[in-house]
Amino acid sequence: MRIVVRLFAGGDSEKNDENRPDFVLHGYAKGVLMGGHDVAADEKAPKFILTASRASDGANLDWNQIIKGWVGEGGVAREKIYEAV
């Protein structure tokens, strides 16, 4: 089995949602697909829930990063990297 990483974004997520027994179903129901637009979060900072599980052969995932990309002034591509803990 490979390392499994799940990332959900949405304004309706709450602290400790990653511990819900229905976490994946909840994430798909309340979250926004990658590239989508979260209307509920337009007026507040987005919330992300990220989980990762070790591969069955014991391979570790050393860290997770969330990379925000956007087109800035003058059409210049920009990015900011966030360490996810």
pLDDT digits (tens, 9 = 90+) for 45-61: 777 888 888 888 877 77
Question: Is this structure's pTM higher than 0.95?
Answer: no
User: 62 falls in which pLDDT band (50, 70, 90)?
Assistant: confident
Q: Between residues 38 and 61, which one has the greater pLDDT?
A: 61
Q: Which long-range contacts (CB under 8 A, 24 or more apart) does 15-20 make?
A: 17/49, 18/49, 18/50, 18/51
Report d(CA 9, CA 27) in Å as an integer: 8
